[in-house]
Chain A
Amino acid sequence: MLPGFKLTLGFTLFYLGLIVLIPLAAVFWKSSSLSWAEFWQTVTMPQAMASYRLTFGVSLGAALVNLVFGLIVAWVLVRYEFFGKKLVDALVDLPFALPTAVAGITLASLYSKNGWIGQFFTYTDEHHEVQSIFFSSRLGIFVALTFIGLPFIVRTVQPILEDIDPELEEAASSLGANRWQVFHRVILPMLTPALLTGFALAFARALGEYGSVIFIAGNIPMKTQITPVLIMQELDMYEYGRATAIAVVMLVVSFVLLLSINVLQWWTNRHNTHNLA
């Protein structure tokens, strides 16, 4: 074993404990101010159930869409040379760097019924008013969550794609594989672990997203209210116990989902971690 194991493991556990586990434990502790019945009533109330479905559903959808388009962006950035490539490469990181409220306001104004994009996608509602299809709708939330999730896929896939030896593709085609077979039988399986990592990161980020969603979502309970907004609403009413109870549900479900993605990722990458028996 490498020297320094105990020291670095100790540090890792201490650091994770301080930065991650203690605050999370505080959430659980705070939620315990409710009785079991109150807890159950809070986390299963229709408004909460609707927000879970919305949050997890739209986050999943956004992460899946990013999986496809992030891969395409990474592919273009790695495989082709074109004018302005460096600029495009830098643009990819923008959703990382932008304060989420700025992103939210920008998206809201772009996709509003008078915005550059929103004006082309309008309908007339039951009150005979023109509305953007993005406003106060799942579609708007989906747009915001796709925006903030894109860099995760691109940045995890890009280095792996850069490292793929062109000889592997040459070997595959000399064995008779056409372009599509080379991609889906040789390249894609090698990218799968990175794609899963990027997917997990984008998904996790979307679950917790607040700032970029609230301006476009309309936050209508039972319809377009995401769970983080519901938690904020409870906090605004000084219902700390109820807010943390809902937070605990999100935490547990997110953890289980991320853990299973990690297991899946480990499984797809097993041929790289094998040692000679």
Chain B
Amino acid sequence: MSVEVKNVTKKFGSFTALDNVSLKVESGELVALLGPSGSGKTTLLRTIAGLEFPDPGDAQVLFYGEDVTHIPASERKAGFAFQHYALFRHMTVFENIAFGLRVRPKTTRPPEAEIRARVDKLLHLIQLEPLAKRFPTQLSGGQRQRVALARALAVEPKVLLLDEPFGALDAKVRKELRRWLRQLHDEIHVTTLFVTHDQEEALEVSDRVAILRNGSIEQIGTPEEIYDKPASPFVYDFLGNVNLFSGRVKDGAVVIGDTEFAAPEAAGEVDSAAVAFVRPHDIRVTRQAAGPALAATVIRSNAAGPVANLELKRLDTGELFTVQLSKELFQELQPKAGEQVFVELKNVKVFSDDYSI
């Protein structure tokens, strides 16, 4: 049982928004479509909703085995929430949520009492019961998005599609709302896809993350898989800050400058040019080198926020890189601008040189 797209290609003029994309979302799963702008994530979501149609070919969109490729949005039963909510301004919160039930043909429309009961239940779910009679212009952004979600849920959709649902909200509301979305999903288990360009959001909320780039899915997996075993430099880079060190890879190790660092994943590699990717928090800074290390000068340090950031410059090549360390370590070390330190690289991820981000 799943929502599935197969071999979907979509071009807008000469721009390829989706390039032969296939994706399977299991029933009850919450999947994030993550990618930079122009990567095709929104087009993929709209294709599933029936708001876009794939270019002719062998493309297929399947809802639980039923082929809906040529069925228009109004008959697909896919709930869609927009980044800017798209609430009906001239209707109250209550009427917005009831809309999907009221437009049903007479034969399948629930009686008025049942519509009321269902809308009240949804209002309870989104915790906005007291605001039922308000108009959308009288709500905050977070409240509007919750109404938009309830409106989409009212039609009991086969799949819930959220296009950058928190994109227009400020940082604090965003965090609250995405936690709320996760709770909601755990309660009602509706198969959900949501589009985001915020990696933190994708990793925190979803069961699985699909990373899109130039109209293709670059990698799909659980947040841990994606974060710990990125399939490409693009994925690695997209999921967080990263330092790049060019050097050479060899069996189980990477050589940067004159120093050899362990890279267990590179076991069996033949000697070739490579780039080592290291997260800023995977770099240890010391005054005395206790193992393989690079020498560097401290350029700047900044301890504002939950962690301290250091900007360093390699002695041998003059390249800049950043290091993140805990407040405690920072207090212990007290690095001064201009002083020389040693850095040890951990969890080095090596990609061959011909990759580009």
Interface residues of A in 230-277 (CB under 8 A from B): 271-272, 274-277
Q: Using Cβ atoms and an 8 Å threshold, which residues of chain A touch B135? A: 271, 274
Knowing A181-B103, A189-B90, A271-B89, the reply to whether A173 touches B82 (Cβ < 8 A) is: no
The answer to whether A35 has its CB under 8 Å from any CB of chain B is: no
The answer to whether A167 has its CB under 8 Å from any CB of chain B is: yes
Knowing A190-B89, A271-B89, the reply to whether A173 touches B100 (Cβ < 8 A) is: no
The answer to whether A21 has its CB under 8 Å from any CB of chain B is: no
Chain A: interface secondary structure? helix
Q: Are B90 and A170 in contact (CB under 8 A)?
A: no
Interface centre among B87, B99, B103, B135 (most CB of A within 10 A): B103
Binds A, one of B55-63, B72-80, B239-247, B269-277: B72-80
Knowing A170-B80, A190-B89, A271-B135, the reply to whether A175 touches B103 (Cβ < 8 A) is: yes
Interface residues of B in 123-138 (CB under 8 A from A): 135-138
Q: Using Cβ atoms and an 8 Å threshold, which residues of chain A touch B80? A: 170-171, 174
Q: Considering the chains assembled together, what is the distance between the CA atoms of A174 and B151 in angstroms? A: 11
Bitwise interface map of B from 144 to 176 toward A, beta carbon under 8 Å scored 1, else 0: 000010011011000000000000000000000
Bitwise interface map of A from 186 to 198 toward B, beta carbon under 8 Å scored 1, else 0: 1001100000000
CB distance from B132 to the nearest CB of A (A): 14
Q: Are B155 and A175 in contact (CB under 8 A)?
A: yes
Question: How many chain-B residues does the 8 Å CB contact rule pick out?
Answer: 32
Total CB contacts across the A-B interface at under 8 A:
79
Q: Considering the chains assembled together, what is the distance between the CA atoms of A171 and B50 in angstroms? A: 11
Q: Using Cβ atoms and an 8 Å threshold, which residues of chain B touch A174? A: 49-51, 73-74, 76, 78-80, 152
Q: Are A176 and B89 in contact (CB under 8 A)?
A: no
Chain B residue with the shortest CB-CB distance to A174 = B80
Q: Using Cβ atoms and an 8 Å threshold, which residues of chain A touch B151? A: 171, 175
Interface residues of A in 205-241 (CB under 8 A from B): none
Chain B residue with the shortest CB-CB distance to A167 = B86
The answer to whether B178 has its CB under 8 Å from any CB of chain A is: no
Jot down 5 A-B pairs with beta carbons below 8 A, ordered by A. Answer: A167-B84, A168-B88, A170-B82, A172-B103, A274-B137
Top-7 shortest CB links A-B: A175-B100, A171-B86, A271-B135, A167-B86, A174-B80, A177-B103, A173-B74
- Beyond A186-B88, A275-B138, 20 additional contacts (C-beta under 8 Å) are A167-B82, A167-B84, A167-B86, A168-B86, A170-B82, A174-B50, A174-B51, A174-B74, A174-B79, A175-B99, A175-B103, A175-B151, A176-B104, A177-B74, A177-B99, A178-B74, A271-B89, A271-B136, A272-B89, A276-B138
